[in-house]
């Protein structure tokens, strides 16, 4: 069974998040799952006490959300710090402009930060990372 190093949770209804995670779905060590997955919902509830619709990355014992998730993904893949900071600072404005230009609405919560992985949430991460995935386009 394939085990992954990191987990990316994205809102499949968000065209911006779907495009951002598109490249990461192809990496062997990162597993991308949609926000709507029942196990993901349980994880978010245990981790945050609610189910924020935002890009979330779980890597090791740290949970990154929103802009911090975007920054962590770019850093993790070796993107230079300057570009990573630019990506983080421009993620939300770009999403807003792209949404208007492409005429779609974003259903994303404005939550950003870096948090320790809660022990109650860890079992859900283990289930998500250890399972197999079928990507349906």
- pLDDT tens readout for residues 97-136: 444 444 444 556 788 999 999 999 999 999 999 854 444 4
Q: Which residues contact 85 (CB under 8 A, 6 or more apart)?
A: 71
- What band does 15 get if pLDDT is binned at 50, 70 and 90? confident
pTM strictly above 0.85: no
Pairing of strands 62-65, 6-10: unpaired
* pLDDT of residue 75 exceeding 60: yes
- What band does 1 get if pLDDT is binned at 50, 70 and 90? very low
Q: Which residue has the higher pLDDT, 13 or 117?
A: 117
Q: Which residue has the higher pLDDT, 41 or 87?
A: 41
Specify the range with the lowest mean pLDDT, choosing from 18-22, 51-55, 101-105, 131-135. Answer: 101-105
Pairing of strands 30-34, 62-65: unpaired
Rg (C-alpha) for the chain, rounded Å, is 14
**3-class DSSP state for residue 36?**
coil
């Amino acid at each position: 069974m394939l085990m992954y190093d990191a987990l990316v949770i994205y809102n499949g209804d968000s065209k911006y998040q779907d495009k951002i995670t598109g490249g990461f779905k192809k990496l062997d060590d990162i597993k991308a799952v949609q926000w709507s997955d029942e196990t993901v919902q349980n994880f978010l509830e245990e981790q945050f006490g609610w189910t924020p619709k935002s890009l979330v990355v779980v890597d090791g014992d740290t949970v990154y959300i929103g802009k911090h998730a975007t920054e962590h993904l770019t850093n993790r893949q070796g993107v230079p710090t300057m570009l990573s900071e630019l990506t983080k600072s421009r993620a939300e404005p770009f999403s807003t402009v792209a949404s208007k230009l492409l005429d779609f609405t974003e259903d994303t919560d404005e939550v950003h930060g870096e948090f320790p992985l809660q022990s109650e949430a860890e079992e859900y991460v283990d289930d998500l990372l250890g399972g197999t995935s079928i990507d349906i386009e």
